[in-house]
Structure formats: C-alpha cells, structure tokens
Amino acid sequence: KAGVTQTPRYLIKTRGQQVTLSCSPISGHRSVSWYQQTPGQGLQFLFEYFSETQRNKGNFPGRFSGRQFSNSRSEMNVSTLELGDSALYLCASSQGQLASSYNSPLHFGNGTRLTVT
Amino acid sequence: AQKVTQAQTEISVVEKEDVTLDCVYETRDTTYYLFWYKQPPSGELVFLIRRNSFDEQNEISGRYSWNFQKSTSSFNFTITASQVVDSAVYFCALSVRIQTGANNLFFGTGTRLTVIP
C-alpha cells in the first residue's frame, strides 16, 4: 500500500498570502488528521476529518481551515499568513471507525515545510 | 486535561549502549491509549507501539522494549544495543476518548536520541 502523500514538500510564502496543503491518505483510511510541528511548540493538533466531517479541532485561529473530500483526500488552508505559521505541517491517516478513531495508530506523511517570509 | 512529559530533551549514547527514554503522562480518564512514535530526519513520524490503559504487560520487539506502569503513570521505552539508525526524535503520545470518538492524540515534546558510532 502506498503511504500518506503530502504535497508540496516545501513552500515559501510571504506574509498576508494564503496557502493550501494537500494530503492523500492510505487507501481505505477514512480518518485524516493534521498537525503543526514547530521547534518551540512541538506537535500541535489542528483538526481531524472523518467521512468529510470535521470531528475534532485543536486550539488554532480561524485562519486555519480544512476539508475532506469523498475520496478521503484532505486539504488544509491557512489564510493571511503570519511569520509564526512557519512550520512543518504533518498529515496523518488512520483506519478509524465511524464511532471512534482515537485508539487507532496514525500513519504520517513526510510533511509540508512551510516558510513564511 | 491531558499532558505528556518527556523530560529528556536530548540524549547521546555510544553505539551498542542501552538507552531508556522516559515518558510520564497525566489524565483523569480511566480508559486511554499510549503510543510511541519515531521521527527520523526525513520528517515522517513512524508508529512504534500502542498500549491501552488496561494492559500493563511489558512488551518486547527485537531491540525495543516498553515498560508501562500505571502506578507511576509512566510508559518508558528502552532500546537495547543501540545502533546509528536509531538516531531520531522519539515522541510519546496519549489519547483519550472524546464525545465524537475523534482522534485526540496529544504528543510530548520529544526526545532527540543521537547514537554515536
């Protein structure tokens, strides 16, 4: 099985711009989660989608949004970029069940490294 | 609230030495899951192990072993006869069930392990 694929691998944007990151989960996985990783804050949970519905959301401002498509692929969008948004954005998928995915191991992609200048 | 503490920020060992990575967690839930992930320089987090709160049996997988002790809220990870390929950042993580059943994985700050040849 192909792993989790994230595109692009690297992005450079300027303050005020917006950006869209893409994630293709492992085939058959219906749960997709996004994490932001920075040296100062570590790994922070952004949101989780299951069957096109956002089921959980971390403590991030509304500039961070996401969506999931019917084929389980997911995108996240960051609008009005700030310097502090520079980070590695990791997507993870899991088999997850309709009732619960909290106990399913996550399978991560290589991430998208976003640099905001 | 959930919390995971990995007090060791960085550890360096010489190849073939044994090393233990500490993980202490906090939660008021009686049902929870603990995980360990490895993040090599490529950036992708790799799932290593999952343990639920009702299973305190220690586990061994090759050179890796895990010691789960509910009495001390610890889930420590030992690498025996370390190798250069073990060099990575290791994350301990905790997940409890929330109402939606969604992914709710909370990571520690990670321990960077360097194995010196």
Per-residue pLDDT at B74: 96
The answer to whether the CB of A12 falls within 8 A of the CB of A22 is no
pLDDT value, residue B43 = 86
pLDDT of A86 over the 90 cut = yes
Predicted local confidence at residue A55, as pLDDT: 87
Give how far Cα A14 sits from Cα of A8, A22, A77, B46, B75, Å.
Answer: 16, 19, 15, 31, 42
Share the mean pLDDT of chain A: 92
The arithmetic mean of pLDDT across residues A12-24, rounded, is 98
First to last CA, chain A: 37
Residue of A nearest to B53 (CA): A103
Cβ distance B19 to B8 under 8 Å?
A: no
* CB-CB contact of A113 with A12 (8 Å): no
Distance from CA of B36 to the nearest CA of A (A): 10
Higher pLDDT, A103 or B50: B50
Q: What is the pLDDT of residue A100?
A: 59
Q: What mean pLDDT do residues B86-97 have?
A: 94
pLDDT score of B30 more than 70: yes
Choose among B78, B70, B69: nearest CA to B48: B78
- Quick check: A99 pLDDT over 60? no
CA distance linking residue A20 with residue A95, whole number of Å? 24
CA nearest B40 in A: which residue? Answer: A110
